[in-house]
Structure 1
């Protein structure tokens, strides 16, 4: 093939390709143009137009608090635009519904109430009317007096709380509705707002005179299982337990105390008021005994009896016993604290030697714990450690 033939062929191909391009009336063979780049202004306008379309379709503004996710996004977007003055100015030309117009500030409270467009200040349901609600009951102490603080010696109470939680999990104890102020006694355990509390001490009765009458009240020592304690009054705890649906922890094996049950006796804890240095110098010396009748009558002539160390005594705690022998409970307590029994010989009025057997060197709060553990039946898992002055769970100490 000659050079002239090659030129003729190339010319024919070019003519055919040009004819193909000329016949493409639909532009199918046009080269795609470079995609247009979106700026931040373009994205802002597109976002705002979606809000405008919502307003056109629903006749209201999108809410930023609704559970509808798509509407909540639009509502939040509009809130963000309204909070930015530069965005407001840039979007004014697209605001056909006046979404960006800021209302004038009300000149008075009446104007504010009259202009309550969305109704947040309205109260057609009466939800803001508190006239029918009961008045708040008065507390007995100021806020600062009953404030909780870290519990002193909490390690001594911790095993008791662990035991009670275990009993509740196993079903050997149960939570019952708070039965009333009479149940607030040493050794009682309650649950208040999800926190377990133990009544470690009940102080002596205080008398406070008012213009109407003389009120009696007792200061408590309440130990909470979160490691804090409070010195609130018995009446204050009773009010809180009643108002806040408090509960009492009761073992299932404990007999229910009915109105016709009779007290079978009393366990009492005494503190000696002797001025004998051999006795007054012993810290935490307590007598644990029982009586079928009045404890005060029982100790009337204590200063004449070696049982009471030939001196007056002070009653620091009493426990009422129902439907069981008080002497049995007393013997259990004596057995628990046998290692710290007082070793002392007394001489009675007739010159005879006498060894008092019901005096023990043990802190009062530990006695309270022991009574609670005996009542629940859990005392079999604990022993008293004289060195640490604590009731120690045998499974943990072994």
Structure 2
């Protein structure tokens, strides 16, 4: 075998020894490349180009607008040619990225695009530099929430409670905290903090943590707590969802006279349900048939499978009202007091469960909602044991 020098051997193997030319980009070009790489990432994850349709989230709409502008710039296409292995910048018509309706400057501004000059393509907002994107602790990606069915009932319940006035919204304060199971409205969507990871010190010295945040459109994100705070502060229409004043905590003056088992004392919720059964009698008297109960768990979980539970008359139910309890009340004892007040109006009905066994639900009463509200007031001021419901007069009377 002939002797070869190192350079000759590498040449025979087809390895180019010419020095690699380093490419230096300007800050504008870096942002342009970084923004295009986010579009590529979206395409690879969702197998489609981003759409600007009204039912997509704000991030996808930003990508759609950005892609449309890039396609209209020869300078941008030349710069990004080496990165466009998916041919996203081709001139072929694509309904998903059609920007014909995006001439309105206000809409573009809403999407984070500022049309300041002819080079507006280089002043795109919401585009991070490569260094920013590599800072993992500051990044988070929205993705489809695979187990959204678990959360769907929660979102529907929150929407229902907002409609009923059981929950209210207030602006998110600049220095407000974010806790586990908090609810917000952000970018027009209901947002739920379902998980909080381990806390750590952020560069500014404040406590931070990675969150699992679920959105009402069926997506989720693993953003940092400070990132969510920033987003809520930047969105002037953002709101915190809170329990309304009439939902608790209440009963500040009510205390059980029985202190024999202090370990049982814990917070709970009084809930009032109305049946959606097709049973002729129940349907006819729907407005005065109510289930009144007290639970230490979440009401929405209790009623999720109501149509398969004889306790709920084998039918779906709707939440009429809910009242939070403080920690000085024993839930099951309070429930007994309430049921005692309405004992004379207890619904006498028998329902066969799914096994054909007859069940007589005990928590349903033929009583108007306004009378139930009166009982709530008696609980508040500690006089519930002094009243009882008289079905003949349809009102509360003194308990002799």
TM-score bin, normalised by smaller chain:
0.3 to 0.5
TM (norm. structure 2) is 0.36
TM (norm. structure 1) is 0.36
